[in-house]
């Protein structure tokens, strides 16, 4: 029977299943932590055929209902899945490569970015922090608020890069420009920031003008593959996830051709502990064209050009907290979002934000900040103590 | 002509060549930084046939003489080589794999380790620090002395592992036991430390007895592949270089089977910015069976078992300084070493220590400390600030 098969496949989570006829089933041991209701047979069959898309679409269109806290529910699913006997590493690596082979051409990248980021600035403004930073925050301690933690993240990145006044910085994938503007305003650098999203670049330009930064921050509406200037610093926060495995070599080549021999680079990206294809529903509905790489896969960006990796920091628990705060903000405005788009849209985004939070919490997803330098550059810090010394705060 | 060919091949360093007939040649621009003398034709031909072995053996047996500072000489060679047009990345990666295919069986590992580490404890005692730490030191600032920097390294490792009193620690490749004893003495943990070298284990046991640590540190004269106990912490400093690429998977499996789900691990190893075969002379004369991996290659230890990489720190400039200090110590006792072994041996070791120092300085070699945790463990530090806070010093 389909319900039993589905629950067994995900490792028998402590979740009660309620069917359209009111019958309830529970296949696990212990107390249930949630209830999943199927409003019709088709929702259950879709889930059996394709766990990820079947669940994602079923939850979005309301044919599947989660009773109780969605974070608790997803945590329990993550726990059950991870307690299944180990899947084969090489099969997973192979699948990851197969999925990743579909490369992002320039026009396809533009479409993929459009899909997610051109939903409307108004939409993101409603639930992001006031700077509109749509990447993992850095909570210096766990009690800090989201907005403060986003500023701390910007500073953490700037300090890792040891920005010096007057330096030329290239940023690839700049969102609404928060990091670009922060670097120019607080560290005195000149920034050229690239982004494929027309909506984002327009708002970023407005924001920079309002802050009097027009001459020091240039926003370029174009793909990272068109970058050609020389720079002292290359930084990219939250873009690598969208680049696609096949283009890692091209990204490395771009960095290699623009970064000066004594320069510094930083890539901040969602990652995995091992190669694995992107979740099918996320790939279909939320982030088409992306690939979440393992550190080993990321080495395709750095090793062909002999970049020296200086520092890797894993901030996955910070991203779990960031996503949980976004979900809270999102829930507070969900009626407005529903009026702008639809109830299905609201439910899809709830699932995406809650699912991301639990994926970071369970270790399904990681968050890596990677600092690197050109081969042979000795313009590198002696230790990392300066990152944590009060006197080296904000330049 | 052979001299011209040889110098062009290494990128025309600013080195004067003097032949057996007294003739001198200089093929570069600018002022020479050193003079290389060939005492006979065979030395030059050997160098032309095989740069690394030809030079290493020729210098060791005295047929090639370096006039001037050997570090300056090797620095100039490193600079010239790195300024040559880029070698093909994939060819280099392929060669690295080919060389690495020759795996280390248990008995071959024992022989390889014997080759280097059983030279005699007296030998290493003469030029290492008093704790006999034969891995990269950690200089909190550049003016610290070697012995102090080695203790700082031991503490840096212990702090990254967040050792708690009473924990069980397994150390793979423990040298003369400095880290094992430091962990037990200052952090209150129980250590089981593995090492293939009979000479080293014997001295380590003596030292532990003298410090009253016999019950808390157990030295096991065996291969890491025989480790079977469970532990809270797995640590390996300076062993991965000797494991061989083919055995990375086996090492990962050992760690996976012994590390508890909430445990912590650290691997400290020489590495590279990109895959490359080990230098032929080093491989033939100094470290048979080893392979210096890139970070991408190291992922074969971690990714099949989904270990979460928490932190990677690159300390290559610290190793350049460590090797330079070892060379200074070694030079001070070279007459005694020559009497114990031979003048060829002294010259080979001078070249090895000087060459290692310049390789770390030029970026040919890297030094990675990698902290990791089992998949899904949330027993991980929130930030890395505690590593640099005075109050968290030595437990």
- Pairwise CB contact (< 8 Å): A140 & B307: no
Same domain, B117 and B231: yes
Inside any domain, residue A91:
no
The length of chain A, given as a count of residues:
395
Query: A251-278 pLDDT, tens per residue?
Result: 999 999 999 999 999 999 999 999 988 8
User: For the ranges A82-96, A143-157, A251-265, which has the lowest average pLDDT?
Assistant: A82-96
- Pairwise CB contact (< 8 Å): B307 & A376: no
Same domain, A231 and A355: yes
A270 to chain B: which residues are within 8 Å by CB? none
Question: Which of B82, B109, B130 is the C-terminal boundary of a domain?
Answer: B82
Same domain, B58 and B137: no
Question: Which of A82, A111, A133 is the C-terminal boundary of a domain?
Answer: A82
**In angstroms, how far apart are the furthest CA atoms of chain B?**
69
Q: What is the CATH number of the domain that holds A252?
A: 3.40.50.150
- DSSP calls for A276-343: -PPPHHIIIII-TT----BHHHHHHHHGGGTPEEEEEEE-HHHHHHHHHHHHHHHHHTHHHHHHHS-H
Inside any domain, residue A39:
yes
**Residue A49: Cβ-neighbour burial (10 angstroms; 0-12, 13-18, 19+):** exposed
Same domain, A330 and A365: yes
Q: In a 3-state reduction of DSSP, which class is residue A14?
A: coil
- Pairwise CB contact (< 8 Å): A313 & B378: no
Least CB–CB distance from B275: residue in A303, A316, A375:
A303
Size of interface A-B (CB pairs under 8 A): 131
Inside any domain, residue A67:
yes
- Pairwise CB contact (< 8 Å): B363 & A380: no
pTM reported for the whole predicted model:
0.91
B252 to chain A: which residues are within 8 Å by CB? none
Q: Are B75 and B361 in contact (CB under 8 A)?
A: yes
A313 to chain B: which residues are within 8 Å by CB? 311, 384
- Quote the tokens at residue A218: 């240039």
- Pairwise CB contact (< 8 Å): A308 & B300: no
B302 to chain A: which residues are within 8 Å by CB? 273, 295
B165, B125, B132: which is closest to B237 by C-alpha? B132
Same domain, B366 and B253: yes
Same domain, B251 and B384: yes
Inside any domain, residue A387:
yes
Same domain, A238 and A282: yes
User: How confident is the model at residue B273, as a pLDDT?
Assistant: 97
Same domain, A164 and A286: yes
Same domain, A52 and A118: no
Alpha-helical regions (H) of chain B: 2-9, 41-49, 51-60, 70-82, 89-100, 106-117, 121-125, 146-160, 178-187, 198-210, 240-243, 248-258, 280-281, 295-302, 316-332, 334-340, 343-362
Strand partners, B220: B194
* Alpha-carbon torsion (B272, B141, B356, B160), positive or negative: negative
Residue B337 predicted with pLDDT over 90:
yes
Residue A395 predicted with pLDDT over 50:
no
Least CB–CB distance from A388: residue in B311, B378, B385:
B385
- Pairwise CB contact (< 8 Å): B308 & A378: no
B239, B267, B279: which is closest to B78 by C-alpha? B279
Q: Into how many domains does chain A fold?
A: 2
Inside any domain, residue A94:
no
Same domain, B109 and B28: no
What angle, rounded to 10 degrees, do the helices at B106-117 and B198-210 form?
Answer: 70
The length of chain B, given as a count of residues:
395
Note down the domain range covering B77: 2-82
Query: B281-294 pLDDT, tens per residue?
Result: 888 888 787 899 99
Same domain, A66 and A152: no
Inside any domain, residue B92:
no
pLDDT-based confidence at B374, cuts 50/70/90?
very high
Inside any domain, residue A285:
yes
B314 to chain A: which residues are within 8 Å by CB? 308-311, 380
Q: Are B27 and B33 in contact (CB under 8 A)?
A: no
User: How confident is the model at residue B7, as a pLDDT?
Assistant: 84
Mutate to test the interface with A, among B255, B299, B379, B380 (most CBs of A within 10 A): B299
pLDDT-based confidence at B113, cuts 50/70/90?
low
- What is the ipTM metric for this complex? 0.90
- Pairwise CB contact (< 8 Å): B375 & A273: yes
Same domain, B331 and B364: yes
B363 to chain A: which residues are within 8 Å by CB? 306, 308, 375-378
Query: A203-230 pLDDT, tens per residue?
Result: 999 999 999 999 999 999 998 888 989 9
* A369 → chain B, closest CA residue: B311
Task: Tell me the residue ranges of DSSP E strands in chain A.
Answer: 15-18, 24-25, 34-38, 64-67, 168-172, 190-195, 217-221, 231-237, 259-271, 308-314, 366-373
Inside any domain, residue A351:
yes
């Amino acid at each position: 029977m389909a319900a039993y098969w589905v629950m067994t496949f995900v490792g028998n989570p402590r979740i009660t299943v309620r069917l359209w006829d009111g019958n309830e089933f529970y296949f696990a041991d212990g107390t249930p932590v949630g209830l999943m209701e199927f409003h019709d047979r088709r929702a259950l069959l879709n889930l059996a055929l394709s766990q990820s898309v079947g669940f994602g679409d079923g939850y979005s269109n309301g044919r599947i209902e989660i009773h109780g806290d969605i974070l608790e529910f997803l945590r329990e699913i993550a726990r059950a899945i991870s307690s299944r006997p180990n899947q084969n590493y090489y099969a997973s690596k192979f699948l990851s490569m197969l999925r990743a082979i579909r490369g992002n051409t320039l026009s396809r990248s533009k479409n993929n970015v459009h899909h997610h980021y051109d939903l409307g600035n108004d939409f993101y403004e409603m639930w992001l922090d006031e700077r509109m930073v749509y990447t993992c925050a850095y909570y210096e301690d766990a009690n800090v608020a989201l907005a403060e933690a986003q500023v701390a993240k910007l500073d953490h990145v700037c300090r890792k890069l040891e920005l010096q006044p007057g330096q030329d910085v290239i940023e690839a994938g700049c969102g609404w420009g928060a990091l670009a503007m922060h670097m120019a305003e607080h560290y005195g650098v000149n920034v050229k920031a690239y982004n494929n999203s027309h909506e984002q670049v327009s708002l970023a330009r407005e924001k920079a003008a309002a802050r009097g930064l027009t001459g020091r921050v240039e926003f370029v509406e174009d793909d990272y593959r068109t970058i050609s200037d020389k720079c002292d610093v290359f930084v990219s926060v939250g873009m690598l996830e969208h680049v696609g495995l096949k283009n890692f070599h091209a990204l490395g080549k771009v960095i290699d051709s623009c970064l000066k021999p004594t320069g510094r680079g930083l890539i901040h990206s969602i990652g995995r502990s091992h190669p694995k294809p992107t979740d099918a529903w996320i790939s279909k509905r939320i982030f088409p064209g992306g690939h979440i790489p393992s550190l080993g896969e990321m080495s395709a960006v750095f090793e062909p050009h002999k970049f020296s990796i200086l520092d890797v920091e894993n901030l996955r628990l910070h991203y779990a907290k960031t996503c949980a705060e976004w979900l809270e903000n999102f829930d507070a405005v969900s009626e407005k979002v529903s009026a702008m788009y639809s109830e299905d849209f609201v439910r899809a985004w709830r699932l995406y934000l809650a699912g991301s939070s639990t994926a970071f919490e369970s270790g399904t997803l990681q968050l890596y900040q990677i600092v690197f330098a050109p081969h042979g550059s000795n313009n590198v810090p002696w230790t990392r103590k300066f990152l944590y010394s009060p006197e080296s705060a904000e330049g």
